[in-house]
Amino acid sequence: MFGWFVQVIQDLFDITFAAWVIPFSQLMNSVQGWGVILGVFVTGLTLIVVNYWKHDEAQQASPGDDFIGEALLLGFLTALGGLIPIALVNREVYFPAFSRYALVCSFGVAMIVTVFSMQLSGKQWRNALVAILVWISVVTHHANAFKHAGETAALNDFWWQVSWRVPQFQKNTTLIASYPSVAVEEDYFVWGPASLVYYPESQNPEVVQPGLFAAVLNKATVTKVLTRERQEYDNRRGIITYKNYRNMVVLTQPGSNSCVRVIDGSQPEFSTNEQDSIRTIGAFSEIEHVLVDEAPHPPPAIVFGSEPSHGWCFYYQIADLARQRGRWKEVIETGEQAVNKGLAPNDLIEWMPFLQAYAQAGEVDRLNELAATIRGDPYVSMQVCRIIGSMQGISGPVLELIDLQYCLE
């Protein structure tokens, strides 16, 4: 009970004072110039309205002490009433992850701030307080909206790339995904959009059961993958899932300038910017759950927006799919199309399907041409050395060139 009491007091400080500062500071990188101008415009408009209202009410008696006391008490009770249930279930107001717990309390905070501003003596002080709070509010909400719009666009692009690469996932596959700019806090952050693309209908007529499952990429999941945990039943608010750490595919996009990659556990490839947790579990990703002979499943535009323009990542996904199918000639042709359009990867690991296709076709000149670029990233060069060196049916001249140009040992 003492812990709950302390938490309520701390949260009361957070919603009354810190809420005006912490979210604003966390979102500074998302503030745009036009957002600052919008804040100034709304602040000016608010001051005009407030001062006009004050002038119109000047002849009326000012609120008495009873009104001030009652409004202040009601504000604190409203704020506390919203915080106590949160504390009792061992939650807290925390920016930005758990800022939603402050929503109900915001009505009480509005009363407290209003009473405080009414108690300030001097029109200039009141106007200054109103101006500061309104400007901070507008700019903070602008930055928050801009940030989430960018995250939405990144997620839409992620799943469009997956749809180019994966015609269909085998039903009941467990996905582990690493997004470039959004933390995966719940498993439905992954199986939700994946199901909308591949299995939009519930797989059970009695309950809600998605066709694909997911696991959050965290320390517990890594441990369960390494120890080969079996199927895990979960009933979350009537949604039934059966995540299986022995039946999974890893999807990763280590940065906004990288493409989405489907990890093949039998031959894992990792970007230099990859998370250590992806490197740890990559060998357990089972690419056979990607059904390459099924019809493609484009994401519904009403949710994921229209199809993005076909840049480098489109050609990479097409080539990677052709590689899984064993169509090396198609990989080379896809690479030529991309190069002819002046496209190239920002993440050098994305050259891998093309390098393997060149090795398979014995194109020594093309491998030699790319060697200097690949050697710029020793981690990628080492993987090229290992993977192509272990391929079957590679000619002697190709292996000699790989050993000379890519193997840095």
Q: Share the mean pLDDT of the chain.
A: 92
In this model, does residue 57 exceed pLDDT 60? Answer: no
Comparison of pLDDT for 61 and 105, the residue scoring more: 105
In this model, does residue 394 exceed pLDDT 70? Answer: yes
Q: Give me the percent of the chain exceeding a pLDDT of 90.
A: 76
161: CB partners within 8 A, 6+ apart:
253, 259, 260, 313, 314, 317
Query: What span, in angstroms and rounded, lies between the C-alpha atoms of 173 and 245?
Result: 10
Do 28 and 123 sit in the same domain of this protein?
Answer: yes
In this model, does residue 56 exceed pLDDT 70? Answer: no
Query: What span, in angstroms and rounded, lies between the C-alpha atoms of 26 and 21?
Result: 9
Per-residue DSSP letters for 217-283? -SHHHHHHHHTT---EEEEETTEEEEE-TTSEEEEE--STTSPPEE--TTS----TT--HHHHHHGG
CB 343 within 8 A of CB 312: yes
**Does residue 159 lie in a domain region?**
no
Global pTM? 0.86
Read off the pLDDT band of 409 (50, 70, 90): low
In this model, does residue 237 exceed pLDDT 90? Answer: no
Do 388 and 258 sit in the same domain of this protein?
Answer: no
**Nearest of 309, 318, 387, 321 to residue 349 by alpha carbon:** 387
β-bridge partners, 177: 251
Mean pLDDT of 25-47: 92
Do 65 and 198 sit in the same domain of this protein?
Answer: no
Provide φ and ψ at 252, rounded to 5°. Answer: -145, 140
In this model, does residue 59 exceed pLDDT 70? Answer: no
Mean pLDDT of 294-311: 95
Do 292 and 348 sit in the same domain of this protein?
Answer: no
In this model, does residue 64 exceed pLDDT 70? Answer: no
Mean pLDDT of 329-342: 96
User: Does residue 326 come out as left (phi exceeding 0), alpha (psi in the -120 to 50 range) or beta?
Assistant: left
CB 213 within 8 A of CB 248: no
165-201 burial, b at 16+ Cβ within 10 Å, e below that, comes to: bbbbbbebbbbbbbbbebebeebbbbbebbbbbbbee
CATH number at residue 374: 1.25.40
DSSP 290: B
Provide φ and ψ at 261, rounded to 5°. Answer: -125, 140
Assigned token pair, 325: 């199918």
- Give the domain range for residue 171: 166-307
What is the per-residue pLDDT for 53? 72
**Does residue 152 lie in a domain region?**
no
Do 41 and 125 sit in the same domain of this protein?
Answer: yes
**Does residue 157 lie in a domain region?**
no
Mean pLDDT of 252-269: 95
Q: Give me the percent of the chain exceeding a pLDDT of 70.
A: 97
Least confident range of 59-68, 152-161, 368-377: 59-68
The last residue of one of the domains, among 283, 307, 331, is 307
The last residue of one of the domains, among 261, 283, 307, is 307
Read off the pLDDT band of 54 (50, 70, 90): low
Residues 69-121 have pLDDT tens digits of 888 999 999 999 999 999 998 888 888 878 888 899 999 999 998 888 888 77
Least confident range of 110-124, 187-201, 335-349: 110-124
CB 308 within 8 A of CB 282: no
In this model, does residue 299 exceed pLDDT 60? Answer: yes
Read off the pLDDT band of 62 (50, 70, 90): low
CB 50 within 8 A of CB 127: yes
394: CB partners within 8 A, 6+ apart:
359, 360, 388
DSSP 90: T
Beta strand extents in 261-359 (DSSP E only) = 261-262
Q: How many domains does the chain have?
A: 3
**Does residue 151 lie in a domain region?**
no
**Does residue 364 lie in a domain region?**
yes
Do 68 and 179 sit in the same domain of this protein?
Answer: no
What is the per-residue pLDDT for 269? 95
**Does residue 28 lie in a domain region?**
yes
Do 238 and 333 sit in the same domain of this protein?
Answer: no
Do 42 and 138 sit in the same domain of this protein?
Answer: yes
Do 139 and 174 sit in the same domain of this protein?
Answer: no
Do 256 and 387 sit in the same domain of this protein?
Answer: no
**Does residue 178 lie in a domain region?**
yes
In this model, does residue 368 exceed pLDDT 70? Answer: yes
**Nearest of 223, 219, 241 to residue 232 by alpha carbon:** 241
215: CB partners within 8 A, 6+ apart:
174, 175, 176, 187, 221, 224, 243, 245, 248
The last residue of one of the domains, among 280, 307, 334, is 307
Do 137 and 17 sit in the same domain of this protein?
Answer: yes
**Does residue 214 lie in a domain region?**
yes
What is the per-residue pLDDT for 63? 63
Do 106 and 184 sit in the same domain of this protein?
Answer: no
Read off the pLDDT band of 58 (50, 70, 90): low
CB 246 within 8 A of CB 230: yes
